[in-house]
A and B are shown apart, each in its own frame.
Chain A
Amino acid sequence: MEIAELNVAALRKMLDRREISAVELTNYYLDRIAQLDPDFRAFITVSREQALRMASAADQKLATGEGATALTGIPVAVKDNICTNGIRTTCASRLLADFTPIFDATVVAKLKQVGAVLLGKTNLDEFAMGSSTKESAYGLTPNPWDRRHVSGGSSSGSAVAVATGMVPLALGSDTGGSIRQPAAFCGVWGLKPTYGRVSRYGLVPYAPSLDQIGPIGRSTEDIFLLDRCIAGYDPLDPTSLPEQAAAAGIVTGSLRGLKVGLPRELFGDSLAMGVKERVMAVARELAAAGCILTELSLPSLQYALPTYYLLAYAEASSSMARYDGVRHGKRACSGSDVTGMMTATRQELGTEVKRRILLGTYFLGKDCYDDYYVRAQQVRTWMKADFAAAFTECDLLLSPTTATPAFTIDEEALDERALALTECYTVAANLTGIPALTFPCGFLNHLPVGAQLMAPAGAEQRLFQVASHWEAATKRQTRCAQGDQKGAFYEL
């Protein structure tokens, strides 16, 4: 099997047995990026030199065995809205084309600490606002299973890099589904952790009360390993949760008696038939393994999308205020005074970002605040209660990750409604702060379909356990997508 198709555990074995060095492994992936990425533009920046330096440091770590962990020497890609000291962080915006942070995000520092090798920074919709990378200033990253289709967004660079085997693991960020939707579209695994589980320090904010960094990989175990590395209390992030004991591994064992809820609202008419069938196949497999399936209702879900838009855009309008050209990023030379300079600078922002700033600014206006923002917060509170109630009836929820497989890259398909359709399955986890995991559950035509599991806050282990059961039961094995295969992802 090609190295590109190996999971982290297999790479770990090779590194530990000295069958390959971290430098060789890094070179292998760098070559693969050079070969494949011109077609995908998954990377905005490939940090070759830094990567090789880190790899050689990892080799030393492995030689002495001191401080070596599961990820030592393993290449990782990082979404380009996560700050990397000395490596430019563009957020896929023209405005930050030359922005090089002077500090590492906590997740990056953690990766460096265990000796993981940072390969580069991946493409996204500008400032993570979008679902297709159509909003990237660096071009669209197409779907690796069919380049006529989108790869989702906003963490599509990370999802595509993983799906094509340009890197075994990647970090994304998820505000309304930005990890899960591209992971599902690309046929890989993605986790949106519990809000506060992973430090946001160094994540360029879109909507801070919803943003969360999480792992993308080619197996449940792979994302488990990356999640375990980046999770933990961070004194630099005031919304970070108290430290929890790190799990040694994924809990295995019987799923007997585990109650799996199927929210009626997420199996409605907007769902593509084929998607529904594939997710129901997962449900049947879980039932066969002893899980108890419960159909239930989460009435608050019908307001999830408007609530998400109101809160996310409101926060976004504020998050984006700091790009005024005064301290960092590009500064427009036009403008006769400081206000003129700021206005001209902000013209550099893309259409979608501007649209969200405008809407968010409107929502927060003193005449609208009570009707929009305050009400949305009320719905959010209700939604949390609604989910808490559901989790008294079941241990986790199963749903599709998106209503359809990846749509085509033509303009019409990218309209608001189509995008909204994909988001309505994912935003609830962000609004309620609970963890959600997407895993591939088959193909529709030749495009991957994702299933989503949601659990109560802090119950990531339950998600890993169920997802890895499905993976084992179906004996699915990953293969890399290269843009023109037809459904060759799995061998059953």
Chain B
Amino acid sequence: MNYETVIGLEVHVQLKTKSKLWCGCATTFGAAPNSQVCPVCLGLPGSLPVLNQKAVELGVRTGLALNCTIAVCCRFDRKQYFYPDLPKGYQITQFHQPLGRGGWVEVPFAAGQRRVGITEIHLEEEAGRTAHFPPEADNPGYSLVDYNRSGLPLLEIVTAPELRSPEEARTMLETLKVLLEELEVTDGKMEEGSLRCDANLSVHRPGEPLGKRVELKNLNSFRAMEAALAFEAGRQGVLLTNGAPLDREEARTWNEAKRKTVFMRFKEQATDYRYFPEPDLPPVSIDGQWVERLAAGLPELPEARRGRYLREFRLPADDALLLSKNKAAAVFFEAVLGFYNGEAKTVSNWMLGDVTRLLKEEKIGFTDLKFGPEDLAALLSFLDRNEISGKIAKIVLAEMFQTGTPPAAIIHARGLFQINDPQAIKALVLETLAANGEAVRAYKSGKEKAVAFLVGDVMRKSKGRVNPELLDRILKFELAVDEIKDIGLD
């Protein structure tokens, strides 16, 4: 039976600040447990939070990039629940007056580009991290808490429920990740937890009201997210098809090992978090002029860049998308164009083709390249000037990639310049014809394929340097001359 899926995301972004949200503690990932803590982030009695303005700035920048309305005055609230890694017994978050509301982001879905709404963005603090050690023979089991993470600044981005498939949800999250990295507000490392995602999903028959939604937690990678959503859409779809759709909202978690979602609790059992305004922090008024300055300082974002690539460089749609959504690639691409007089399309072909293949083999990115954009420009110029062949260019590129040596040096040192001199090519051709009488005879008896053999022989002798077009013409000419000799018309 036919049903539709509706998905919304809650994305938690660790903001890249030097110090925590309320105190001066460092934010370095992977430090020894409880080495980056103080009375404030341990929630010791009497300590007070002091807002890190940098976190607000990064939040505002993100809000602007997501086209949100930035609050003139926002404030913090306490969300109360008990957990060992929550040192104050409440989390400071924004509930009543968040930092930003009502934005949108353009997302290049496979089915075409579409705007997805951003319901709100708000600032909050991270909790610590609890590690559980199950009982063993000699001990009853225990838990340890690391408060290094406690008080790190988080930005929660809540999307509107406008995503229609797990694939769309994934594309949305990828788009957000790229945008956040572009803004330099986060490391965006899902594996380190600096980017995390929860999702809400429901299914319904076309034209009917939305179904009961399920909140999915613990989606710690793009793959996990897509798989969990696909599993959940299927599960709910079957329930709907069987005439027994969900009748209560619930929270489920993704179990990677079992490859399925697992029931956590019904939503009506959810804790009453008893939100109320945080009395320790006065409301934050956000200066309009400051926001304008931040808006003016925003970098060009992938979407705008993609449009510019289509307009200015007339790149094919796929090339424009791939280059614009990878900031390092975009920066490299435009830098190459600064040194290069040829077609932009040539640059994007090489970057998305051979260079990307080499990068993927080494599992590195454009910022890790040993050669610079001027080197790629030089290589492509040699090619354009017919000084090297395409085949040779690939060989040179591979060496540039390995060693970082400029292409001119490689070409000179290894004598890779293309042989464009017709006399020199003729000499090589004649040499080949003389040495391969059998192939020549085969050609003359109508076996066109013999030409390929002869071309190969010339190339072998010249180490591939002969201009292939000239070679083709000269070889065919000399074979014709040879044939005329045979007939005795000479």
In the complex, A314 has a CB within 8 A of chain B: yes
Of the residues A89, A238, A324, A366, contact of B48 by C-beta under 8 Å: A238
Q: Which residues of B contact A260 (CB under 8 A)?
A: none
Q: Is B49 an interface residue (CB 8 A)?
A: yes
Cβ–Cβ contact A208 & B279, under 8 A: yes
- Pairwise interchain contact A101-B44, C-beta atoms closer than 8 A: yes
Residues of A within 8 A of B193 (CB): none
Query: Considering the complex, which residues of chain A in the window 70-124 have a beta carbon less than 8 Å from any beta carbon of chain B?
Result: 82-83, 89, 91, 96, 99, 101-103, 105
CB of A245 closer than 8 Å to a CB of B:
no
B283 smallest CB distance to A (angstroms): 11
B46 touches A203 (CB 8 A): yes
A322 near B276 with CB under 8 A, answer no
Find out whether the CB atom of B280 lies under 8 angstroms from the CB atom of A238: yes
Nearest CB in chain B: distance from A489 CB, A:
34
Q: A91-B45, A322-B87 are in contact. Are A339 and B82 (CB under 8 A)?
A: yes
- B51 is an interface residue with CB less than 8 A from chain A: yes
Query: Which of chain B's residues has its CB closest to A102's CB?
Result: B39
B222: Cβ under 8 A from any A Cβ: no
Residue of A nearest to B284 (CB): A238
Give Cα distance in the complex from A327 to B83, angstroms.
12
State which residues 67-92 of B face A: CB under 8 Å: 78, 80, 82-84, 87-90
Among A209, A320, A364, A373: residue with most chain B CB under 10 A: A364
| Given A207-B279, A322-B89, A324-B89, residue A338 in contact with residue B143 (CB < 8 A) | yes
**Choice from A103, A238, A361, A369 contacting B49 with Cβ under 8 Å:** A238
Interface SS majority for chain A: loop
- For the complex formed, measure the closest distance between the CB of B291 and the CB atoms of chain A, giving whole angstroms: 21
Indicate whether B43 reaches chain A with its CB closer than 8 angstroms: yes
Which residues between 339 and 393 of chain A lie within 8 Å of chain B, taking CB atoms?
Answer: 339, 342, 361, 364-366, 369, 373
Q: What is the chain A residue whose CB lies nearest that of B88?
A: A322
Beyond A201-B46, A203-B46, A318-B276, whether A103 also contacts B282 by CB under 8 A is no
The residue among A200, A321, A338 with the most chain B CB atoms within 10 A of its own CB is A321
Chain A residues lying within 8 Å of B90, measured Cβ to Cβ, are: 318, 321
Q: Is the CB of B43 within 8 A of A327?
A: yes
CB distance from B258 to the nearest CB of A (A): 24
User: Does B274 belong to the interface (CB within 8 Å)?
Assistant: yes
Complex-state Cα separation, A103 to B45, whole angstroms: 10
Is A204 part of the binding interface, using a Cβ–Cβ cutoff of 8 Å?
yes
A153 at interface by CB-CB < 8 Å: no
Which of chain B's residues 253-273 have a Cβ closer than 8 Å to chain A?
272
* Residues 236-259 (chain A) with a chain B CB within 8 angstroms: 236-239
Minimum C-beta distance from B76 to chain A (A):
10
Return the contact of A205 from the options B45, B80, B272, B282 (Cβ within 8 A): B45
Q: Does A10 contact B (CB under 8 A)?
A: no
* CB atoms of B279 and A364 under 8 A apart: no
The smallest beta-carbon distance between B372 and chain A, in angstroms, is 46
Q: B46 to nearest A CB, angstroms?
A: 4
Contact: A103 with B272, CB < 8 Å? no
A202 located at the interface, meaning its Cβ lies under 8 Å from any Cβ of chain B in the complex: yes
Q: Which residues of A contact B317 (CB under 8 A)?
A: none
Shortest C-beta distance, B137 to chain A (Å), equals 19
Is B84 a contact partner of A326 (Cβ separation < 8 A)? yes
Report A-chain residues with C-beta under 8 Å of the C-beta of B44: 101-103, 327-328
| A367 (CB) vs chain B CBs: closest residue | B272
Assuming A321-B90, A322-B88, A326-B145, is B45 touching A238 (CB within 8 A)? no
Interfacial chain A residues near B39, Cβ < 8 Å: 101-103
Please measure, in the bound complex, the distance between the C-alpha atom of A238 and the C-alpha atom of B80, giving whole angstroms: 21
Closest CB of chain A to B16's CB: distance in Å? 23
Cross-chain contact B87 with A373 (CB below 8 angstroms) = no
From A338, which residue of chain B is reached at the shortest CB distance?
A: B84
Q: What's the Cα separation between A149 and B422 when bound, in Å?
A: 120
Residues 192 to 231 of chain A near chain B (Cβ within 8 Å): 200-205, 207-209
Q: How far is the CB of A51 from the nearest CB of chain B, in Å? A: 21
Q: Choose from A238, A320, A364 the contact partner of B276 (Cβ within 8 Å).
A: A364
List chain A residues, Cβ under 8 A from B87.
Answer: 322, 326-327
Rounded to whole angstroms, the CA-CA distance of A235 and B48 in the bound complex is 10
A174 CB-CB contact with B under 8 Å: no
Contact A238 B84 (CB under 8 A): no
A209 to B48, CA, bound (A): 12
Q: Is the C-beta of B281 less than 8 angstroms from some C-beta in chain A?
A: yes
Check if B47 is an interface residue, CB within 8 A of chain A.
Answer: yes
* A366 and B46 contact, CB distance less than 8 A: no
Is there contact, CB below 8 Å, between A201 and B143? no
In the complex with contacts A321-B82, A322-B87, A83-B48 CB distance below 8 A: no
Q: A395 in the interface, Cβ–Cβ < 8 Å?
A: no
Establish whether residues B46 and A202, one from each chain, have CB atoms under 8 Å apart when the complex forms. yes
- The majority secondary structure among interface residues of chain B is loop
User: Is B31 in contact with chain A by the CB < 8 A criterion?
Assistant: no
Query: Please, how many angstroms separate the alpha-carbon atoms of A105 and B89 in the complex?
Result: 21
CB of A135 within 8 A of chain B? no
In whole angstroms, what is the CA distance A105 to B45 when docked?
Answer: 10
- Cβ-based interface call for A315 (8 A): yes
A417 CB, nearest partner CB in chain B, Å: 28
Q: Which residues of B contact A320 (CB under 8 A)?
A: 89
Complex-state Cα separation, A205 to B39, whole angstroms: 14
Query: Does the CB pair B46–A101 fall under 8 Å?
Result: yes
B43 touches A318 (CB 8 A): no
A239 CB to closest chain B CB (Å) equals: 6
Q: Which residue of chain A is the closest to B273 with respect to CB atoms?
A: A366
Bound Cα distance A33, B145 (Å):
43
What is the bound-complex CA distance between A103 and B46, given in angstroms? 9
B45: chain A residues within 8 A (beta carbon): 83, 89, 91, 96, 99, 101, 204-205, 322-323, 328
Interface string of B228-272 (1 = CB under 8 A from A): 000000000000000000000000000000000000000000001
Closest chain-B Cβ to A145's Cβ sits at a distance in Å of 33
Bound Cα distance from A323 to B39, whole angstroms? 14
Query: Across the interface, which residues of A come within 8 angstroms of B82, CB to CB?
Result: 321, 324, 339, 342
Q: Of residues 397 to 419 in A, which have CB atoms within 8 Å of B's CB atoms?
A: none
**Residues of B33-67 contacting chain A, CB below 8 A:** 39, 42-51
Complex Cα distance, B272 from A82, in Å, reads 32
Q: Which of B99-153 contact A (CB under 8 A)?
A: 143, 145
Among B78, B83, B143, B276, find the residue whose CB has the most chain A CB atoms closer than 10 A: B276
> What residue in chain B is nearest A336 (Cβ atoms)?
B140
Q: What A residues does B49 contact at CB under 8 A?
A: 238
Bound form: Cα–Cα A333–B49 in Å: 31
Chain B residues, Cβ within 8 Å of A203: 46
> How distant is the Cα of A201 from the Cα of B47 in the complex, in angstroms?
6
**For the complex, what is the distance from the CA of A338 to the CA of B80, rounded to whole Å?**
17
Nearest CB in chain B: distance from A379 CB, A: 15
Q: Which residue on chain A has the smallest CB distance to residue B281?
A: A238
Residue of A nearest to B83 (CB): A338
Contact of A239 among B275, B276, B280 (CB under 8 A): B280
Across the interface, which residues of A come within 8 angstroms of B84, CB to CB?
324, 326, 338
Cβ contacts A270-287/B at 8 Å (1 or 0 each): 000000000000000000
**Contacting pair A314 B280 (CB below 8 A):** no
Contact of B272 with A366 in the complex, beta carbons under 8 Å: yes
Hey, which chain A residues are within 8 Å of B50, CB to CB?
235-238
- Complex Cα spacing A238 to B44, Å: 17
Question: Which residues on the A side are within 8 Å of B89 (C-beta)?
Answer: 318, 320-324
Query: Which residue of chain A has the shortest Cβ distance to B147 in the bound complex?
Result: A327
Bound complex: CA of A324 vs CA of B83, how far in Å?
A: 9
CB distance from B129 to the nearest CB of A (A): 14
Other A-B pairs, 6, CB within 8 Å; known A326-B87, A342-B82:
A103-B46, A202-B46, A239-B48, A321-B82, A322-B43, A369-B276
Q: Which residues of A contact B (CB under 8 A)?
A: 82-83, 89, 91, 96, 99, 101-103, 105, 200-205, 207-209, 235-239, 314-315, 317-318, 320-324, 326-328, 338-339, 342, 361, 364-366, 369, 373
11 contacts between A and B (CB under 8 A): A201-B48, A202-B47, A205-B46, A238-B281, A239-B281, A239-B282, A318-B89, A321-B90, A322-B89, A327-B43, A364-B276
**What 6 A-B pairs come out closest when comparing CB atoms?**
A321-B89, A209-B279, A364-B274, A208-B279, A204-B45, A83-B46
